Chains A and B, each alone.
Chain A
Amino acid sequence: MTATTTDHSRAAADGAHSHGVVPAGSRAERVTSFDLADIPVPSGREEEWRFSPVARLQPLFAETLGADGVTVAVDAAPEVKVETVARDDARLGKAGKPGDRTAVSAWNAVAEATVVTVPAEAVASDVTSVRIDGVSQDATAQHLLVHAERHSEAVVVIDHRGVALLNQTVEVVVDEGAHLTVVSVQDWADGAVHAAAHRSTIGRDARLKHVVVTFGGDVVRITPDATFTAEGGEVEMVGLYFADADQHQEHRLFVDHAVPSCKSRVTYKGALQGSGAHTVWVGDVLIQAEAENTDTYELNRNLVLTDGARADSVPNLEIETGEIAGAGHASATGRFDDEQLFYLMARGIPEVDARRLVVRGFFAELIDEIGVAAVEERLLASIEAELEKSMSVITGVPTAAE
């Protein structure tokens, strides 16, 4: 087990702390732009691409992308409005700017966007489901805006299935006092390659719960950004991933505390099994000089179930003010604990069931935090299905799928 835990709540204005390698300098200095020319095609050596299989992502760096690789179907709660709009719609592009090549490519390549609006004061009576199905392997751009207007409440689940080569933008705008939950489930089939830039803004006293669940696909790279635009905002970013042999699952988060008195919590947990399973978690948190009374904590844990899997975990916390309520981060990657297995088996529990208990236990708290019953149930079922794959290695009995 390797673990780092750091509590910065008593840290003075910074400079004294450095964590991991931050060759690109301050996160605040990273180039963001809507212009393709400002963010060239990466070589793979850049800080934000150094863990990524750039060759597999290459088709998504193009200046033009198709639109027919996926179908988008929205099943909205009765209170929620759904539109398809042209790319020049004034509401698009308001939640920050693209921060890497796939993000800027996606922005420039889309012809139209899906806009999901939760009207002011509306409380959605049901989950709004956005179903994205991969239908061809043509490199495709797709854009979704979820806008929760003032004092509204809603849950939006974005569900990805099938096989696609998708470069996606998800903008999330949470206006003052609104409570929004956005869940993105990557349940792709083998062969899918998916890059997604999630850019969120959180207004005054607004609350965003942002959930990412990644199980399927060959390559999934998601970059959720959250920026506070006014005081009193709160963001909870939760992620759960399970990588099998030769899957690459990358989640790069950025929380920008640009204003005072906001709170962020980041909790990502992943399990890995099989040769060539690779997960990357990077959590950047920037507490700007003006952001006094910030409260932030981020945590990433990885459970490596078999040999040959690799988990990279890099928390970065930059603090530009000493007047904070709390700031900390923790990162740990551990192998499956044989002592836990022995303890459970010594109580008569067979190995397969003991392993299942431990892995379910590892994810249990996180699943509770999601707070969307339908998603929780599906998650438990997906975890079971993933475990079946590793159990077949242990028991020697192939699963039905194989």
Chain B
Amino acid sequence: MSTLEIRDLHVSVETKEGPKPILRGVDLTIKSGETHAIMGPNGSGKSTLASALAGHPKYEVTSGTVTLDGEDVLAMSVDERARAGLFLAMQYPVEVPGVSVANFLRTAKTAISGEAPALRTWGKEVKGAMENLRIDSSFAERSVNEGFSGGEKKRHEILQMELFKPHFAILDETDSGLDVDALRVVSEGVNRAKENTDVGVLLITHYTRILRYIKPDFVHVFVDGRIAEEGGPELAERLEDEGYDRFLTGATASA
């Protein structure tokens, strides 16, 4: 059982005009096996939370703490966070020309588990995971994300989630831009990972659509850099009917 604890997190993003505060005091506790949906309108800071947790250099934590089983995550470098068990499925996965998917997966797996995976079982595991996600086996020899469609990039992210077996996975708008078939395949992958590894999931999304496939235990609504409302799955249903309007009006009134 692991716990990821976020306390009073304030984060600024680097801009040409100087640092701009985005997160203004986020509190969130995620335990193994739990799925938390983070929802909210554009610009509310959802993706900033994801990037800050992963340690993207563009985002600066100005106050607050993040701990993983008591360990200070903010003191860790990007790669140390991944090795500690955090995984970020990126909204815009980056192309790495000349580095094959097979080589990348093996290198990352080796880094995360501290030893090279056993050749025979690893090959089988990768092949099986790719089949499950309807990723053609030819992708193993292609360069990471290069020339991938939007859906292929997202499936490749979830492939990594399944293979690397993190303690906590942050899915940053993994559903955006996916057609229904791809959304279903990707969601199945996330659900498999949940069943097999007891991973805690932070599911960041603008839409409620993906929550039909991945059932959240908790729903948090982000508005203006902090959590405006929290609840169970019923909150997502309410958002589906009402949209974010009532939060936005509130935010405007209080601003």
* Partner-B contacts on A (CB < 8 A): 337-340, 342-351, 353-354, 357-358, 360-365
- Which A residues are CB-close (under 8 A) to B57? 338, 342
Q: For B105, give the chain A residue with the smallest CB separation.
A: A347
- Which A residues are CB-close (under 8 A) to B82? 345-349
Q: For A357, give the chain B residue with the smallest CB separation.
A: B99
Of B93, B98, B160, which is within 8 A of A362 by CB?
A: B98
Given contacts A346-B78, A347-B111, A349-B107, contact A361 B83 (CB under 8 A): no
Within residues 46 to 66 of chain B, which ones have a CB less than 8 A from any CB in chain A?
54-57
A-B contact pairs, 10 of them (CB 8 A): A342-B54, A344-B104, A345-B82, A346-B79, A349-B82, A349-B107, A358-B99, A361-B98, A361-B99, A362-B97
A357 to B57, CA, bound (A): 20
Is B108 in contact with chain A by the CB < 8 A criterion?
yes
* Contact across chains for A350 and B79 when beta carbons are under 8 A apart: yes
Given contacts A343-B90, A348-B79, contact A353 B98 (CB under 8 A): no
- Which B residues are CB-close (under 8 A) to A353? 107, 111
Within residues 104 to 122 of chain B, which ones have a CB less than 8 A from any CB in chain A?
104, 107-108, 111-112
* Distance of A388 from chain B, by nearest CB (Å): 18
- Which A residues are CB-close (under 8 A) to B107? 349, 353, 357
A357 to B90, CA, bound (A): 20
* Distance of B19 from chain A, by nearest CB (Å): 18
Q: For A343, give the chain B residue with the smallest CB separation.
A: B94
Is B164 in contact with chain A by the CB < 8 A criterion?
yes
- Which B residues are CB-close (under 8 A) to A357? 96, 99, 103-104, 107
Q: For A341, give the chain B residue with the smallest CB separation.
A: B78
- Which B residues are CB-close (under 8 A) to A350? 79, 111
* Distance of A316 from chain B, by nearest CB (Å): 26
- Which B residues are CB-close (under 8 A) to A340? 94-96
Q: For B143, give the chain A residue with the smallest CB separation.
A: A361
Q: Which of A340, A345, A353 has the most CB of B within 10 A?
A: A345
Of B77, B83, B96, which is within 8 A of A343 by CB?
A: B96
- Which A residues are CB-close (under 8 A) to B164? 347-348
- Which B residues are CB-close (under 8 A) to A337? 94
Of B54, B95, B97, B143, which is within 8 A of A346 by CB?
A: B54
Is B88 in contact with chain A by the CB < 8 A criterion?
yes
* Contact across chains for A346 and B88 when beta carbons are under 8 A apart: yes
* Contact across chains for A351 and B98 when beta carbons are under 8 A apart: no
* Distance of B219 from chain A, by nearest CB (Å): 26
- Which A residues are CB-close (under 8 A) to B112? 347-348
